């Protein structure tokens, strides 16, 4: 409750402060007389070749029921995205669906986004439904992404499902040398149905708030998230351009009573911790038109090297027991309790990207690495993209993992993999 009161007082102070800038201005948005409907999307055909790591307990548990353990595996699937928008005057409707085909089974759509919006005034808008949020300034990590889907650092641009919400946004601009823009966003998060798969407890409704300021050339956000039986969070972020080709950004999130799971004597235990997670990053464009992204991320609830070693031992011992009950329990904990994409404490992300290397038109190349500073394991990957025709793209995407058997990337189910994507747009 103290955190809630502090944030509400901070929001009230910020809103009152904006009234001091009397030179604010309004503008009228011309209304469109005709409704506008648009559809677009893409079809991704993906083929992957994977070299397995049989010594990994993650591999052993995932393929426990498979009689013959192969050294190499292949994977083929089709991903189909269909986006639709409808706009008429102050009303809008937005849809993003996702289908995945991997074997002969009926296809069912997954709605990444499905919401309606209403512009109540030039400053005030409302949306209701399932929508995606992108809180935070980081590229590969977002410690303040309280309403975001968890980002995959191996593919930060991957489209993810949004959250069912009621979103209210107020925006105000100023003709001032100091404060150019201010906005307030409030998100109401209804709980998922848990009683007979149709109802939920009213006291489990969550809420999140964001204050945005454009001060000089600095973007600043203040955020908070509150939900019963979950840690209360307060956060801030900023980004600014030090030069026209150099941008820096940072995020900080403080969590109260955040739950951390540990393995002690083959048992999973919960520990509550208070503290901050943070990110420091930059984006730099060289004179050769190469873009560098660098980010350091500290995860307050992540595992230390010894804690991760205990977790790997727990999985290995469960697998070696040949006890179906212990194995199923370990598999469940692996996919639920310890499913985070950033399970450990400290990471360094580096990415270099360059368009049209060697004057090869319609192509781009990038190389990125994720270095786990806690256990010194490494993920290394590159991506080559080529667009020979309009609305068609080919991607070549290899991955390499390095580290000891008790490290995050060294204990992966696979040692190497390469993916080939063929992407059709419409």
Provide the whole-model pTM.
0.88
Whether the per-residue pLDDT at 28 is higher than 60: the answer is no
Whether the per-residue pLDDT at 157 is higher than 80: the answer is yes
Q: Among 73-87, 193-207, 273-287, which is the least confidently predicted range?
A: 193-207
| Residue 55 near residue 405 (C-beta atoms within 8 A) | yes
Q: What local confidence, expressed as pLDDT, does residue 195 receive? A: 66
The C-alpha atoms of residue 281 and residue 250 are separated, in whole angstroms, by 6
Q: What local confidence, expressed as pLDDT, does residue 65 receive? A: 86
Q: What average pLDDT score do residues 304-329 get?
A: 92
The C-alpha atoms of residue 258 and residue 327 are separated, in whole angstroms, by 28
Whether the per-residue pLDDT at 16 is higher than 50: the answer is no
Q: Residue 313 burial by CB count (10 A; 0-12/13-18/19+): exposed, middle or buried?
A: middle
Q: Residue 265 burial by CB count (10 A; 0-12/13-18/19+): exposed, middle or buried?
A: exposed
Q: Which of 275, 42, 297 is nearest to 151 (CA)?
A: 297
Whether the per-residue pLDDT at 5 is higher than 70: the answer is no
Q: What average pLDDT score do residues 386-405 get?
A: 95
Whether the per-residue pLDDT at 30 is higher than 90: the answer is no
How would you classify the pairing of strands 291-298 and 267-285? antiparallel
Residue spans per domain, the chain: 2-21+36-425
Q: Assign 414 a pLDDT band (cuts: 50, 70, 90).
A: very high
Architecture field, domain 2-21+36-425: Beta Barrel (2.40)
Over residues 360-379, the pLDDT tens digits come to 899 999 999 999 999 999 99
Q: What average pLDDT score do residues 49-63 get?
A: 93
Mean pLDDT of the chain: 89
Q: What local confidence, expressed as pLDDT, does residue 196 receive? A: 63
Q: What average pLDDT score do residues 298-319 get?
A: 94
């Amino acid at each position: 409750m103290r955190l809630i009161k502090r944030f509400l007082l901070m929001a009230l102070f910020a809103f009152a402060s904006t009234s001091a800038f009397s030179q604010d201005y309004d503008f009228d948005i011309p209304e469109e007389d005709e409704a506008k409907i648009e559809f677009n999307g893409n079809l991704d055909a993906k083929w992957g070749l994977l070299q397995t790591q049989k010594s990994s307990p993650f591999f052993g548990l995932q393929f426990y029921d498979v009689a013959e353990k192969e050294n190499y595996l292949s994977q083929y699937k089709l991903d189909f995205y269909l986006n639709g928008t409808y706009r008429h005057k102050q009303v809008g409707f937005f849809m993003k669906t996702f289908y995945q085909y991997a074997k002969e089974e009926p296809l069912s759509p997954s709605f990444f986004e499905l919401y309606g919006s209403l512009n109540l005034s030039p400053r005030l808008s409302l949306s209701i439904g399932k929508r995606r949020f992108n809180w935070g300034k980081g590229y590969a990590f977002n410690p303040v992404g309280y309403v975001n889907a968890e980002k995959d650092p191996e593919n930060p641009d991957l489209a993810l499902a949004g959250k069912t919400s009621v979103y209210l946004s107020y925006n105000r601009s100023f003709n001032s040398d100091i404060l150019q823009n201010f906005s307030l966003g409030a998100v109401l998060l209804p709980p998922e149905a848990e009683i007979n798969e149709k109802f939920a407890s009213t006291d489990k409704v969550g809420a999140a708030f964001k204050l945005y300021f454009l001060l000089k050339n600095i973007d600043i956000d203040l955020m908070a998230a509150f939900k019963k039986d979950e840690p209360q969070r307060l956060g801030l972020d900023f980004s600014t351009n030090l030069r026209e080709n150099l941008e820096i950004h940072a995020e900080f999130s403080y969590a109260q009573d955040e739950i951390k799971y540990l393995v002690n004597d083959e048992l999973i235990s919960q520990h509550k911790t208070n503290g901050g997670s943070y990110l420091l990053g930059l984006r730099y464009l060289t004179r050769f038109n190469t873009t560098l992204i660098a980010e350091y991320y500290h995860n307050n609830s992540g595992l230390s090297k010894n804690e991760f070693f205990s977790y790997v031992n727990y999985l290995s011992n469960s697998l070696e027991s040949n006890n179906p009950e212990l194995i199923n329990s370990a598999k469940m904990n692996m996919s639920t309790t310890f499913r985070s994409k950033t399970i450990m404490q400290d990471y360094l992300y580096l990415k270099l990207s360059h368009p049209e290397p060697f004057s090869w038109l319609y192509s781009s190349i990038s190389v990125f690495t994720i270095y786990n500073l806690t256990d010194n394991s490494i993920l290394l990957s590159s991506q080559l993209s080529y667009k020979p025709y309009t609305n068609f793209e080919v991607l070549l995407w290899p991955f390499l993992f390095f580290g000891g058997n008790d490290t995050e990337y060294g204990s992966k189910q696979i040692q190497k993999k390469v993916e080939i994507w063929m992407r059709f747009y419409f």
